[in-house]
Structure 1
Amino acid sequence: MEKEILLNLINKYLSNQATAEEEELLLSYYSTLQKNELKWDELEMGDENTARVELYSKVLSEIKARESSSKKVFFMRRWFIAASVTLLLGVSASLFFYLKNDNSFLSTKNKTQPIKNTIAPGGNKALLTLANGSKIILDDAATGELAKQSGVKVAKAANGQLVYTVENTSSNSATSGPIAYNTIETPKGGQYQVDLPDGSKVWLNAGSSLKYPTNFNGNIRSVQLAGEAYFEVAKNAKKPFRVVSNNQVVEVLGTHFNISSYIDDTSVKTTLLEGSVKVLSTKSNRSKLLKPGEQSNISYLNSSLSVQEVNTEEVVAWKNGYFLFVDEDLKSIMSKFARWYNVDVEYAANVDNLRFGGMVSRSRDLAQALKIIEQTGNIKTKIEGRRVIIMP
């Protein structure tokens, strides 16, 4: 698509003047850019992190100007998509659309200097424990078949994900007898994708585990989650899908949602992207039906259940390969960094009132990720071994 045409399309998209066909065209182009993973041209566009942080600050200021929370979420998504497209077009497009001749935006003078003392990001790492107790380190396992269990083949695909296939549906071994359970665990600094026997897809974040049957017999498809995972559940109106996690049960028929249930957080959060889900607090016995864009919050302290609208792009950013922070407190940010980079965090300063907004690729090393936080001027960071020290 020619740059001038695309810029005009983005302009119409943000001003709500684009037709349904034009919006579909832009979203399709945005998806293409994501799939092709186009590279940042640093010589033409300057330092990537600096550009994204400064652009994000401008986007965030626009969002805060909106009064209604629902409008904020909607407007955020529009700017996020438009920003992603324009940044990949080059400096002239970005300057034209966002900064109106503010030539300081993508200045190459502010390039981040390389930092020697750093830590590599996490990757596809997981441990699979089969029903018979045998263990397979998935990051070391070769592509292909790993095991067979009761008529179900377990294989590692070329892209690294774990795939279950029911080989013979006519066999009693696949549909009867005692239920066998497997468990997949990601360490700190690890993530993994699993295709379950029913066709559902699960992305596990760092420091998480999923226990599930080798085949979904009976009237309920039930799994157990600790940590965080994004689910794309295969539709089956006759067999509900349940996710049991800390203090809650989530039930769906087939939809997309994210659950964060880390025990070191203050609550378990379920965020719905499409369809509907029922969230039940197992301690208070209260339940809520979520609509797309809503997030339930069940407190570990008193089991209270609340629902609010959220920016889903921020919630599932980890699954899409980046961190996205929208006015988030520093300790929450560092908790996410600690899991992904497998580090401990020490605070040599009072940071209780510090909040940040920004985004950074999860493929960046730790020093580069911390540089985003340091650019606010409020704190400094130091890496010692696998420890990060936050200083005033």
Structure 2
Amino acid sequence: MDKKSKCRFKGNQDGEIYINDLLLVAKWIAASLTGELTDDEYHLLEKWRLQSEEHQQLYERMQNMERQKLTREKFASFNKLAGWDGFREKQKKDRRKSLRIRIMNYAAIVLLVGGVFYFFAGNESKKLSDREPVSVMPGKPQAQLVMADGKLIDLVEQTGVIKGENVLIHNTRKQISYEDVVHLEEERVVYNEVRVPRGGEYQVKLSDGTLVYLNSLTRLRFPVLFSGQTRVVELEGEAYFEVAKDVEKPFIVKTGTYDVQVLGTHFNISTYEEESTVETTLVEGAVAISGEGIEGKIVLKPDEQFVFDRESGKCGVKSVDVSYFVAWKDGKFRFRDVRLEDIMRAVERWYNVQVVYEDESVKNLRFGFNMSRHETIEPLLNIFELNGKVKINKEGTVLKIRQGR
């Protein structure tokens, strides 16, 4: 076929795209499924995907085919003794071996379905995509930055260097860094805020070097430069802190319920409004907790968790396996003997779905598992259904749960 042969796609700026470009798009999609997509390729793929509804449907169609195949492979040969993580590594190696074959398969689909879109535009193309259920994709790095003047910046769209008041903010696709800050002579504190939506996560490196991992549905407000005798930030949602040590300036996290004060340490705070408790889990170092209803200060040691019950106003400290409470930071779901309703609240936030209980009794069923949270939602739902206690019907982004057998 001539190099300049082309296939028309509805929605492009000029209505045309070269076949060589389609092969490149197929390569990017295949690479995205094996984790080998570069930042530049990611941006080009996103630009192509957002050009038209047809491109979006093609993208979802090809990803769905691959995800469904992977799900079947996993549950056909999953070895409990080897563990999920080991199995995932094997799957990645197998998928990379066949990357070239997959690229050609995807390219053929792009060309074939692209031609179908050309001849059957509008409603007909939508009917084609409706034949296969669309997977619910996992969360990904996405957030908004609120500047001191109230300006909103989409951190996915605007990468590189962002100019703020007295600060140059460096933004990758997953982290913003406040390392180039102009020291002001006057004692004026300039605040920024990062908001992470449902289905998102992001990292913030503060001006003192502290690294903060933000989970879905989380807000962090902080000064672009810490001044005075303390370093104070405000948190709603969930975050993991790796605090840079500064013995002269304690680091304080205000949760709206209580304050957590540290000098330099690693810890996790969960303060979601929809949860009945507020939890601080210490990984290393030491933290002091103070607030209304707390006598003096409560000091935590590593592997301890402070729990405040919003309903009763009671609080306490207990020993825990911290890995279950910080696994989200490392891209994992880890639960042990946890109520289904509690697990599903985390699922709703990460996958941006709605859970409907057709049978209230299933809320108290308890589950435990360990898996990557960067999978589509289908493997997770299969885990719940394996023991037959529940049945989950997925209708778009709505999960309807009832009793199993």
RMSD: 2.8
Question: Shift of residue 290 of structure 1?
Answer: 0.7
3-state SS of the aligned residue for 1:226?
strand
Q: Which protein, 1 or 2, shows the higher relative CO under an 8 Å CA cutoff with sep ≥ 6? A: 1
The verdict on how the C-alpha distance between 1:231 and 1:205 changes in structure 2, with shifts beyond 3 A counting, is: same
Q: 1:54 to 1:191 in 2, by over 3 A?
A: same
After superposition, the C-alpha distances for 1:277-330 in whole angstroms (9 at most, x for unaligned) are: 111233444531111111110111122111111111111111100101111110
Contact 1:163 1:196 in 2 (8 A): yes
Instruction: Pick from 373, 389, 396 the counterpart of residue 378 of structure 1.
Output: 389
Cα distance, 1:52–1:244 mapped onto 2, change above 3 Å: farther
Which residue of the other structure, out of 358, 365, 380, is the alignment partner of 1:369?
380
2:203 matched to 1:199? no
Asked whether 1:354 is paired with 2:357, we answer no
Note if 1:156 corresponds to 2:171: yes
Q: Percent identity?
A: 36
Distance 1:52 1:361, change over 3 A: farther
Q: Distance in 2 between matches of 1:176 and 1:53?
A: 62
Cα deviations by residue, 1:230-260 (Å, 9 ceiling, x for unpaired): 0000000000000000311000000000000
Q: What's the TM-score once normalised by structure 2's chain length?
A: 0.68
Quick one: structure 1 residues 352 and 167, their matched pair in 2 at CA, closer, same or farther if it must change by over 3 Å? closer
For structure 1, which segment, 332-341 or 279-288, has the greater mean C-alpha deviation from structure 2 after superposition? 279-288
**1:289 matched to which residue of 2?**
299
| Distance change in 2, residues 1:90/1:195 (3 Å) | closer
Structure 1: where are the runs of 5+ without partners? 1-35, 57-82, 92-114
Give the whole-Å Cα distance in 2 for the aligned partners of 1:270 and 1:178. Answer: 31
2:193 to 183, 194, 206: 183
Residues 321, 53 of structure 1: alpha-carbon distance in 2 compared, 3 angstrom cutoff: farther
* 1:243 aligned counterpart, secondary structure: strand
Higher mean displacement: 353-362 or 250-259: 353-362
User: Which amino acid is 1:275 matched to?
Assistant: G
Number of residues of Structure 1 aligned to a counterpart in Structure 2: 298
Tell me the alpha carbon deviations over residues 104-138 of structure 1, each in whole angstroms, 9 at most, x when there is no partner. xxxxxxxxxxx834311110010100011111011
Q: Is the 8 A contact 1:117 1:383 kept in 2?
A: no
1:360 shift after superposition: 2.0
Taking a change above 3 Å as real, the CA distance of residues 387 and 293 of structure 1, as seen in their structure-2 partners, is same
- The unaligned stretches of length 5 or more in structure 2 are 1-33, 37-68, 92-131
Deviation per CA, 1:165-220: give whole Å up to 9, x if none: 1345xx5x2x5332111110000001000000110000000000000001000000
Distance 1:89 1:183 in 2: 37
Quote the Cα distance in structure 2 between the aligned partners of 1:89 and 1:164.
35
Q: State the Cα distance separating 1:84 from its structure 2 match.
A: 7.2
TM-score by length of 1: 0.70
CA–CA separation in structure 2 for the residues paired with 1:47 and 1:309:
38
Larger Rg: 2
Does the 8 Å contact 1:249/1:282 carry over to 2? no
Aligned partner of 2:330 in structure 1 is 320
AA matched with 1:322: K
The residue correspondences of 1:120-139 to structure 2 (distance < 5 A) are 120-139=137-156
Distance 1:49 1:185, change over 3 A: farther
